[in-house]
Amino acid sequence: AYSPVAAGQVGIGALISGHPLVGFSAIAAVMAATTALALPAIVILTVFPATFGYWRVGPASANLSLADVTLALGFIAALPYAPWRAPALRRMLRIAAVYAAMLSISVVFHPSQRATIEVLHRLFLVVCAVSVGAAVTNLGRIATSLRIFVAAAALVAGAAVVDALTHWPSHSQLPRPAYPWGIHKNAAGFLIACALVLLIVAQNELKVSRTLRAPILLLLFAGLIACQSRGSGVTLILVLLLWSFTSDRARISPLTIAGALVVVIVTVVSVNALFAADERASQFNSLNSRITTYDATMALWKDSKLTGLGLKYWREPALARSLAFGEPHNLVVSALGETGIIGLVALAYLVAATGKLARSRRETMATVALLLIVAKAVDSMLGIFWVAGTLTLPFLIVGIALGRQADRAAVDPRTTAPHALANTQS
């Protein structure tokens, strides 16, 4: 009975003696997996605040973020609790599989270890996040998970305000963009915007009192403004407009309207400042660096329109010099550059099919899931789509919505025996 354990100990001992870093990494992985299995609920709930975890962990070659590692552990913990037989969850997993299969066409034409790993990484982000979200619903921890995320967003927003005020240049009318605890302003801004959407659209799901809700909203709006993430500000306004126009019962409070107006004003002022910098011919500002990368990518794409240049092509030494600024911060340009027309169609399918699956569920969390998927796509027109954390959160909410459908199907009197229904309700 102890032979596998003994064999594992001998193996890890051999690794430590010959390759200390690999050996200790193996020990850390075993300990983390054991924790995920021993304390599943805690590990699963930790995935939500860990979406802000952009700090790098582990060996530099792996380049893993804390958000990646926590999502992997959360998936291990979620395995016994996710409703794997639920039709909606299976359909979402099929959507992810079809996307990965279409993406693999580019890998066939542009094979590399980097490209193969990237396909697996994208599949990992979607499948793990959806599975963890579905497990949260199955465990009855929806309100807890959302509260934890909003609380984390409020803390980051507070840190952003402090960072902006304490580093305000004396010669500038505006403070510099905040990088709370080293988190990139665009990542922090987007996740804070997601927290605002949750607090506004899904306030009944969070079960936060009105007395507490108002100051949290104010803090989140202030944090978003401090980050000066133009894409996140525009995205938030568009998503709230979409919700207000498509929901029959949508009621936006005066506080929400005031906050949205402030975000619009600050976004406009920030954009004007950006163009002022552009007039000073600063080739390294965010606008000119994006344009330079877009032009370089599209020029290279013309030679391989159907399958692109290969996943993570900007890391190829032969292309790095011509691209100058690396990965394009645009969803469409990046997809065309990496995987060509086939990859762009695959990405459109993933976003549209996921949105359609969420839209077919007529309840609050499904609405939030649809809004956040749209938000991620819109925000990525000025940013990067495939990033753990900002991509993880929308698919976590998709998983919650799909898990809720499975939960309702389990107690549907049309498909459940009377005695089973009574047991479930009790």
User: How many angstroms separate the CA atoms of 194 and 153, rounded?
Assistant: 9
Q: What is the mean pLDDT of residues 125-138?
A: 97
Instruction: Identify the pLDDT of residue 398.
Output: 97
Cβ proximity of 326 and 293 under 8 Å: yes
- Tokens representing 48 are 């939500």
Give the model confidence (pLDDT) of 341-350 as tens digits: 999 999 999 9
**pLDDT greater than 80 at residue 4:** no
**pLDDT greater than 60 at residue 276:** no
**pLDDT greater than 80 at residue 148:** yes
The helix (run of H) or strand (run of E) holding residue 126 is helix 113-138
User: How many angstroms separate the CA atoms of 348 and 352, rounded?
Assistant: 6
Contacts of 74 (CB under 8 A, 6+ apart): 36, 43, 44, 46, 47, 128, 132
Give the model confidence (pLDDT) of 236-258 as tens digits: 988 988 888 777 655 566 666 76
Cβ proximity of 151 and 49 under 8 Å: yes
Give the model confidence (pLDDT) of 217-231 as tens digits: 999 999 999 998 888
Cβ proximity of 296 and 324 under 8 Å: yes
Higher pLDDT, 152 or 32: 152
Instruction: Identify the pLDDT of residue 246.
Output: 75
* E-assigned strand segments in 30-108: 56-57, 64-65
Cβ proximity of 185 and 177 under 8 Å: yes
Distance (Å) of CA 341 to CA 103, 106, 350? 11, 10, 14
Lowest mean pLDDT among 62-71, 105-114, 298-307: 62-71
- pTM for the structure as a whole: 0.84
- Tokens representing 18 are 């010959």
Higher pLDDT, 340 or 207: 340
Q: What is the mean pLDDT of residues 164-174?
A: 81
User: How many angstroms separate the CA atoms of 329 and 187, rounded?
Assistant: 13
Using alpha carbons, select from 19, 48, 14 the residue that is nearest to residue 136: 48
